[in-house]
Amino acid sequence: MPAGAPAGPGLRAKVLTVSDGVVAGTRDDRSGPALVAALTDAGFDVVDHRVSADGVAEVAAALRGLTAGFTGVVLTSGGTGFGPRDLTPEGTRAVIEREAPGLAEAIRRASDADGRGFGMLGRGVCGVVGRALVCNLPGSSNGAREGFDVLLPVLPHVLGLLAGERLH
């Protein structure tokens, strides 16, 4: 699927911004709205956008709520680095049933495309909860958008499989 091409009808998405600062009101959420806009532009129906504090229990609880009975993609932004409260991957692993390491690696490789090599610092994971795909993206609006752009070509196929379609 070419970049910018619509993903297709019936695709649903949710966004979770993970940031103590956003929860406390000391930082503006830029990555969450950037993801909502990118998803909408790609033809997804964004049905929820929430904010969670950093921390394993907080992220896991938010993801359990977002994925319960949901068929679609849940994109998280933030909490994937090396800071002491950057625990989004650990909270995600507490919830997912099956990891999708190829997706996470593709996101990291794309983040290295600028030649600086910072993509290797991303600890984000991707995986499946029921019929939902959860993917951790970087907390910067540019990093989140780059990660989404990597995922976009395969999302319709993945979500179709999770929804029970026989695509191959």
Which CATH number covers residue 132?
A: 3.40.980.10
Q: In this structure, is residue 24 part of a structural domain? A: yes
The DSSP code for 47 is: E
- pLDDT reported for residue 126: 98
Q: In this structure, is residue 67 part of a structural domain? A: yes
Write down the mean pLDDT value for the chain: 91
Is the pLDDT at 80 greater than 70, yes or no?
yes
Q: In this structure, is residue 1 part of a structural domain? A: no
Handedness of CA 34, 39, 41, 46 (dihedral sign): negative
Q: What is the pTM of this model?
A: 0.92
CA distance 15 to 134: 10
Report how many domains make up the chain. Answer: 1
- pLDDT reported for residue 10: 82
Q: In this structure, is residue 10 part of a structural domain? A: no
Determine the length of the chain. Answer: 168
Is the pLDDT at 103 greater than 60, yes or no?
yes
Q: In this structure, is residue 7 part of a structural domain? A: no
CA distance 53 to 56: 9
Q: In this structure, is residue 93 part of a structural domain? A: yes
Is the pLDDT at 40 greater than 50, yes or no?
yes
| Domain around 43 | 15-162
Measure the N-to-C terminal CA separation of the chain; round to a whole number of Å: 17
Residue 9 — very low, low, confident or very high, per pLDDT cuts 50/70/90?
low
Q: In this structure, is residue 57 part of a structural domain? A: yes
Is the pLDDT at 162 greater than 50, yes or no?
yes
- pLDDT reported for residue 69: 97
Residue 50: C-alpha distances to residues 11, 76, 88, 113, 168 (Å): 19, 10, 14, 30, 34
Is the pLDDT at 116 greater than 90, yes or no?
no
Is the pLDDT at 5 greater than 60, yes or no?
no
